[in-house]
Amino acid sequence: MIMILLPITANAFLLRVGLKNGVSGIVVSATSYFDLIDMHTNQVILTTYGWRNYKIDVENGGLAVEGVGTFQGPIILAPISNAFGKVDNKAYRGKLEISRTNNARIMVVNIIDIEEYLYGVVGSEMSSSFPLEALKAQAIIARTFALAGLKKHQDKGYNLCSTTCCQAYNGALAESLIITTAVDQTQSLVLSYGGNLAKTYYHSCCGGKTAPFIWKGQGEPYLQSKNCPFCNHLRNSSYSWTQRISFYELQKAFGTDKITSISINAQDESGRAKTILICQVSGNTTIDANKFRSTMGYTRVKSTLFTMDNDGQGVVLNGNGYGHGVGLCQWGARGMAEAGYTFKEILGFYYPGVCLQKIAFEKKMRGRQDE
pLDDT above 70 for 370: no
E-strand stretches of 102-141:
106-113
**CA triple 115-116-121, angle to 5 deg:** 90
Kind and range of the H or E run holding 192 = strand 189-193
Print burial letters for 134-161: b (CB count within 10 Å at least 16), e (below 16). bbbbbbbbbbbbbbbbbebbeeebbbbb
By DSSP bridging, strand 3-4 and strand 355-361 are: parallel
pLDDT above 70 for 10: no
Confidence band of 103 (pLDDT split at 50, 70, 90): confident
**Cβ pair 198, 191 in contact under 8 A:** yes
The CA distances from residue 139 to 94, 144, 152, 181, 330, in Å, are 19, 9, 20, 10, 12
Lowest mean pLDDT among 24-33, 65-74, 353-362: 353-362
Nearest to 371 by CA among 66, 70, 97, 71: 97
Kind and range of the H or E run holding 367 = none
**Burial of residue 269, with CB atoms counted within 10 A of its CB: 0-12 exposed, 13-18 middle, 19 or more buried:** exposed
Nearest to 169 by CA among 245, 242, 92: 92
Note the pTM of the prediction, 2 decimals. 0.91
Q: How far apart are CA 106 and CA 109, in angstroms?
A: 10
User: Percent of the chain beyond pLDDT 70?
Assistant: 94
Kind and range of the H or E run holding 184 = helix 177-184
Q: Name the average pLDDT for the chain.
A: 92
Q: How far apart are CA 18 and CA 316, in angstroms?
A: 40
Confidence band of 5 (pLDDT split at 50, 70, 90): low
Q: How far apart are CA 349 and CA 345, in angstroms?
A: 6
By DSSP bridging, strand 90-92 and strand 85-87 are: antiparallel
Confidence band of 7 (pLDDT split at 50, 70, 90): low
pLDDT in tens, 196-253: 999 999 999 999 999 998 887 777 999 999 999 999 999 999 999 999 999 999 999 9
pLDDT score at 169: 98
Q: How far apart are CA 155 and CA 140, in angstroms?
A: 27
Q: How far apart are CA 31 and CA 83, in angstroms?
A: 5
User: Going by C-beta distance under 8 Å and a sequence separation of 6 or more, which residues neighbour residue 151?
Assistant: 159
pLDDT above 80 for 365: no
Strand order across the 25-30 sheet: 69-71, 62-65, 54-59, 25-30, 85-87, 90-92
Confidence band of 2 (pLDDT split at 50, 70, 90): low
Residue range 265-279: average pLDDT? 96
Q: Where are the domains of the chain?
A: 25-104, 116-230+325-361, 240-320
Q: Which residue has the higher pLDDT, 217 or 101?
A: 101
Q: What are phi and psi of 260, to 5 degrees?
A: -105, -30
Q: How far apart are CA 242 and CA 306, in angstroms?
A: 9
pLDDT score at 52: 87
User: Going by C-beta distance under 8 Å and a sequence separation of 6 or more, which residues neighbour residue 127?
Assistant: none
Q: How far apart are CA 301 and CA 279, in angstroms?
A: 20
pLDDT above 80 for 371: no
pLDDT score at 193: 94
